[in-house]
Amino acid sequence: MAVRTSPAGHTFSALRALQFLLATAQLVLLSLTTIKINRVDPPRQPPPILYALTISALLFLYTAVTALLHATQRIHSWLNILALDVLATALLIPSAILLGLPLAAVGSCAAVGARNAHITTLASIVHSLGGADSRGAQRVPNAAALFADYATTADEAQRRAGEYTPWISHVGDTCAQLKGAWACAIITCILFAASAGAAWMCWRRGQALPEFEWDAREEGVVYIPETAGAGAGQSVLRGGYGGNSGFAGVGGVGEVEMRQDGAESRRSSEVSGLSGLNASWTAGSSGGLQGRQWPSEHV
């Protein structure tokens, strides 16, 4: 059984799919928030949102690339994947903390919207306190009293528009979006810890497979070192089936019989324990066995 089709391989595939979906969702939610903030205070973005946005973008690319490599069996070092997944977990922990601590103090986002006349942007506060009108802003009656905890003048409201807390404590929609991003960060952090464990299992699985080398002279040809003979004119290849080797099932034995055919020593193998596998072998230049195996779905 190849690593990709082993239980650990299937677990890793499922975790990567979930991680990709959550990274995508977090990237979208944070992007919507940054666009909204940019319309009010273009030069500034809250550091917690910038950090979380950067990490989510990197994880979006990382999960997409590694999922594709795993699906095409191009992951050559599972220990590297394990280390990168542990690093991703470590980077997500600060993201969850930076996003979550202020949100935990805010409470219900629905209550935030109700307390603040259901405004959709801080530009509404700036405009209601006498500042210039901007896209998406609405004028709120009695704004000075309603938003006194945030700002008392339009200039002060404008200066604070690039901060994190005013958005989550005064704009219900933004509060809900960032709570969604916070939840995605927490769940993705757990999933990356789990996929690091799955990568470790895949590495252990790969270590248990018999070693082989690709022969660069012809695609689909494998060179397998010759083992000690079991008797005169006969050698026994022992080892579990896995990867691209094509041997019998774990612990099985493939018997290789030698016969003379003119000047060339030819060998034919009859491998037991693996239904539907056919293989023909010829003597290799290095004293090993060189041959072609099929069907490809066992690879």
Q: What is the pLDDT of residue 209?
A: 64
Q: What is the pLDDT of residue 6?
A: 85
Q: In which residue are the tokens 């952090």 written?
A: 189
Residue with tokens 């069996």: 73
202, two tokens? 């895949």
Percent of the chain residues topping a pLDDT of 90:
55
Output the CA angle 180-110-45, nearest 5 degrees: 50
Dist CA 66 CA 267 (whole Å): 40
Residue 211 binned pLDDT confidence (cut-offs 50, 70, 90): low
Judge if pTM exceeds 0.85. no
Q: How far apart are CA 299 and CA 296, in angstroms?
A: 5
**Alpha helix positions (H), the chain:** 7-40, 47-71, 78-106, 109-115, 123-128, 143-146, 154-159, 164-170, 172-208
Distance CA 99, CA 175 (A): 11
CA-based nearest residue to 250, from 274, 232, 270: 274
Q: How far apart are CA 201 and CA 241, in angstroms?
A: 17
State the Cα–Cα distance between residues 16 and 36, nearest whole angstrom. Answer: 30
Name the DSSP letter for residue 106: H
3-state secondary structure 130-145: CCCCCCCCCCCCCHHH
Q: What per-residue confidence (pLDDT) applies to 212? A: 52
pLDDT, averaged across the chain? 77
180-202 exposure pattern, b = at least 16 Cβ within 10 A, e = fewer: bbbbbbbbbbebbbbbbbbbbbb
Sequence-distant (6+) residues with CB within 8 A of 135 are 39, 123
> What is the average per-residue pLDDT within 200-213?
75
Segment 224-237 mean pLDDT: 42
Are the CB atoms for 262 and 209 separated by under 8 Å?
Answer: no
CB 124 within 8 A of CB 140: yes
pLDDT of residue 210: 61
Measure Cα distances from 127 to 13, 62, 166, 295 in Å: 50, 42, 15, 71
Segment 57-88, tens digit of pLDDT: 999 999 999 999 999 988 988 999 999 999 99
6-15, 71-80, 191-200: which is most confident? 191-200
Which comes out higher in pLDDT, residue 198 or 242?
A: 198
Asked if residue 250 lies in contact with residue 241, where contact means CB atoms within 8 angstroms, the answer is yes
pLDDT in tens, 12-50: 999 999 999 999 999 999 999 999 999 888 778 999 999
Mind listing the pLDDT tens digit for each residue in 91-136?
A: 999 999 999 999 999 989 999 999 999 999 999 999 999 887 777 7
